[in-house]
């Protein structure tokens, strides 16, 4: 799997892109790097692009544990974050729905699922109709 992130400070947003099979261990590793990034801010909006996944690890219990660790790291100042999952394919939609369920009961993150790029950007309040319109340096 390939997992990358790009922080876009102009929009208070982090763009996360999965390609291939999404794995929990790699997700936690990359989240750790993101949380240590100098441009990281608690409460940053998250745009998680699942359009490139072909499969994902199906361990709901481990996913819930991962989300709890992420929520703890993101709640340093009590900020709430909006995470929008772009899920245009059947497998990405299935994963996005599972991830959304794993956040239930954790108030630090509000999760939304979008099936198109323009819908995802609209949910985030970001101008543009395509991810390519975002000012990304290395995504």
Domain range for 33 is: 2-125
Lowest-confidence region among 16-25, 55-64, 80-89, 90-99: 55-64
CA 28/CA 9 separation, integer angstroms: 22
| Cα 13 to Cα 94, 102, 137, distances in angstroms | 24, 22, 13
Q: Total domain count for the chain?
A: 1
pLDDT bin (cut points 50, 70, 90) of residue 93 is very high
Residue-level pLDDT at 76: 61
Q: Is residue 132 part of a domain?
A: no
Specify the CATH number for the domain of residue 102: 3.30.750.24
Q: Is residue 139 part of a domain?
A: no
Report pTM. 0.90
* Strand-by-strand arrangement of the 81-86 sheet: 2-8, 13-22, 45-56, 81-86, 109-114
Q: Is residue 94 part of a domain?
A: yes
């Amino acid at each position: 799997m390939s997992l990358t992130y790009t922080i876009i400070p102009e929009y208070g947003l982090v763009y996360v892109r999965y390609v291939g099979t999404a794995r929990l261990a790699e997700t936690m590793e990359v989240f750790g790097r993101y949380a240590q990034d100098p441009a990281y801010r608690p409460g940053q909006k998250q745009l998680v692009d699942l359009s490139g996944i072909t499969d994902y690890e199906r361990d709901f219990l481990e996913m819930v544990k991962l989300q709890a660790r992420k929520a703890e790291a993101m709640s340093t100042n009590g900020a709430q974050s909006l995470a929008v999952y772009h899920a245009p394919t059947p497998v990405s939609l299935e994963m996005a729905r599972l991830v959304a369920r794993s956040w239930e009961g954790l108030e630090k993150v509000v999760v939304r699922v979008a099936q198109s790029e323009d819908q995802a950007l609209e949910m985030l309040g970001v101008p543009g109709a395509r991810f390519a319109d975002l000012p990304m340096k290395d995504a």
